[in-house]
A and B are shown apart, each in its own frame.
Chain A
Amino acid sequence: MATPSPSLPTPLILPAPTPGRSVRPAPANLHHLRALLAEKFPEAHQRRERDDARAFPIALEATGAERLALPCGVMTEVNGSHGSSALFLERLLDAMAEAPAWGALVDCGASFDPDGAAQRLARLLWVRCHDLQTALKATDLLLRDGNLPLVVLDLQMHPRLHTIPSTTWYRFARMLEPTSTVLVVFTAQATLGAAAGERLTLSSRWSLRALRQRRSRLRLQVERGEAARLSGRAAGTPFNAMDRRIA
């Protein structure tokens, strides 16, 4: 499979096949086209290495030192039960207050309960949306703004996420790439597909006994999902904070 030399000038438009000559195989054409586009628009083809040093750290347990780093510039999808996702959201608010940094919560269904988070609300922009389209548009505006280090899109209470075109998620991912914003999307089931740079599954299940415990003692069980496996980490393994701990 021949690839054009980067030193030689290559035409942007491929030559039309002439009668009697065999047409170049499709994969070679595709590769050639990609090479041409990469040469023409190099900034659009730069591979962005994940910079974990720029990650947004959150604590798995409010009183513990074990932290989970959410990578900047990618979407993190969080699946899990309602209780775990609400607790995960609280941990995000804790991290925001600790930074301290502004953050936005796009709440599709307006299910967030600020009671109990009084001291962490001063830098939270809460956008209550009553339909899916409004929530997606609001997220789009916040990502374009690029001011906030953390944007949370909470779709946990929305049952019909499959109606969202996958292009929406890829567009979000593309907008996030050049920024240092963390976008966390809460969904009841895995929805974002390969557009999610990170997928976390909250595996804790809670009983009525959890309502008697101090909230800071409740510990989140986090497992990395398929998206993480694609990036080299084994799926279904409990998260180990050793390699990403930010003290």
Chain B
Amino acid sequence: MLFCTLQLPQFHLQAALRHRPEAWRKPLAVVDETTSRLVGLTPLAAEAGVEIGMSPAQGAARTPRLEILPRAVDTEASLSRIVLEIAGTLSAYLEATAPDLCTLDLQGLTLGDPEAWAKNLLPRFEAVQLRIRAGVAQTPDLSLLAVHSTTPREPVCVVRHSRAFLAPLPLTAVACPETIRTVLHDWGITTLGGLTRLDKDEIATRLGPEALRLWEQAAGCSRRVLRLVRPVERFEETFDFDYEPDTAQPLLFLLRRFVDQLTARLEGVGLVAEALLLTLPLCDGSAYQRRFSIPSPTANPEVLFRILDTHFESLRLELAPVGLRLQAFPTRPHAQQERLFEKALRDPHRFAETVARLMALAGNENVGTPRLLPTHQPDASVLEPPRFGEPPPAPPPPQEEEEPVGLPLRRFRPPLPAKVELREARPGHLACQAVRGTIVDTLGPYRLSGQWWEEGWSTEEWDVELEGGGGLYRLSRSGGQWQVEGCYER
């Protein structure tokens, strides 16, 4: 039985510098604002003498060039999720041991050489801009000790002989109560190997059950059950600005990184994005949000970024954004086959981009696929975003009573106010901005009403023919006002 513990070294620093990798080459420290202590250092800061646990002032005293960033708490949570998410593709049995640690039960996996297997993991995390270390051993606690013994040059440690591995480790490597450690120190025991040379039962008799657990840990034979968790599939990247950007350029720069990382994560778990949710927190506390449906779900970063880029071409905000969030909604790759003679879109992504451009040109409310509302009210329809991925609803069987009658109407939007003279309670003469004439024939009235339980509406419609081939029009009367709704023929 083997266990693997994955660790994100310099967890706070990795989170703070997730979207600014160039900052690794600067003397930089991360401060925990609740304790006012430094919790992460870049190599240059460490070389300058700055140490973990110092106050920011102490750190700045060591090197005036020290840049100090606050902890990125949201990004830390996001990193923990990413590690669990990738680990979830390796094993179903996972433990979120700590925010920067994850333990996997490798039982049932065909690993081959555990060291080669563990080394092969590293590129998967590097693809999503994460530095990871791995420890593989026979027990969860031993794998934890193994990962703690890794170094930047040797990021993988596989324990093949537990006693030989444990023997040189100091007592501080395991959780040891202070009282027991003091006694052992007085006995001259400072390493785990020294402890296991003592008799197990005698240790238990003299120092109690806690010392027994310590001896078992030192011998590498302690067993504990993993507290299993299920990875949450939340594909989100966030960034909080230190300043208020006034152009789209820095946003697009970050979005490109977000998209690359999200698509790498999606590909890692065999999923594709079916929608993107862009959130821009604004300086007054509100937020701008826009959801983008992906016409043909994909994990292609070029396609996804183009959709966002096109949107930013026409985006104008009243207030400056102070952050950036991008969430991808995953789905399984589309495996639906089109019908045999169906003429599918050649490039759905390009079409989606064209639709976005049309919306920017004509207005969002003027572009889309019309859907009739379930009402008898005239001209009641809405425009919805085109649904590329879904097959259109099958047409219902033709029914005689549903077949439309007469010519289609060409509507005047908005309807034209008109003056209508009545003759024998029927329209006799029409006068409006666009047309004037004597009415020679009429059909109607067609009285319509609805929504009596709310404000309600009612109207009376007439179809009229004007003298001398003047055309066919639809008139409506509502609240005593006449309007020309449209024309059939002119």
Contacts and interface: CB of A to CB of B under 8 A. Distances in A.
A102 B352 CA distance: 13
A208 B488 CA distance: 9
B369 A81 contact: no
A175 interface: no
A128 B367 contact: yes
Contact of A211 (B381, B443, B469): B443
B412 A111 contact: yes
A162 interface: no
A211 B347 contact: no
A157 B409 CA distance: 12
A147 B404 contact: no
A208 B465 contact: yes
B428 to A, nearest CB: 15
Interface string A204-229: 01111011111110100000000000
Interface string A91-127: 0000001011110000001111111111111111111
A225 to B, nearest CB: 20
B317 interface: no
A99 B343 contact: yes
A204 B351 CA distance: 36
Interface size class of A (residues with CB under 8 A): 35 or more
A198 interface: no
A121 B361 CA distance: 22
Contacts of A142: 354, 358
Interface string A129-142: 11000100110011
Contacts of A110: 366, 411, 413
B464 to A, nearest CB: 8
Contact of A149 (B341, B343, B407): B343
A128 B405 CA distance: 25
Q: B-side binding surface: helix, strand, loop or mixed?
A: mixed
B366 A128 contact: yes
A149 B344 CA distance: 10
A41 to B, nearest CB: 26
Contacts of A124: 369-370
A113 B408 contact: yes
A99 B341 contact: yes
Contacts of A157: 410
A127 B358 contact: yes
A90 interface: yes
Contacts of B393: 119, 122
Given A100-B392, A125-B368, A128-B366, A205 B489 contact: yes
A83 B370 contact: no
Given A102-B345, A125-B367, A129-B366, A82 B487 contact: yes
Contacts of B409: 86, 113, 115
Contacts of B372: 114-115, 118, 121
Nearest to B474: A211
Given A86-B410, A118-B372, A137-B361, A102 B489 contact: no
Interface of B: 339, 341-343, 345-348, 350-351, 354-355, 357-358, 361-362, 366-372, 378-379, 381, 383, 386, 392-393, 395-396, 403-413, 441-443, 463-465, 469, 471-472, 486-490
Given A83-B472, A115-B378, 4 more contacts: A122-B393, A125-B369, A205-B469, A215-B407
Q: In the A-B complex, list the 8 residue pairs whose CB atoms are closest, starting with the nearest.
A: A122-B392, A83-B489, A211-B406, A116-B404, A101-B343, A86-B408, A128-B366, A145-B354
15 contacts: A83-B489, A84-B489, A87-B407, A87-B408, A100-B342, A100-B392, A110-B413, A114-B381, A119-B395, A121-B370, A129-B362, A208-B441, A208-B443, A210-B472, A210-B488
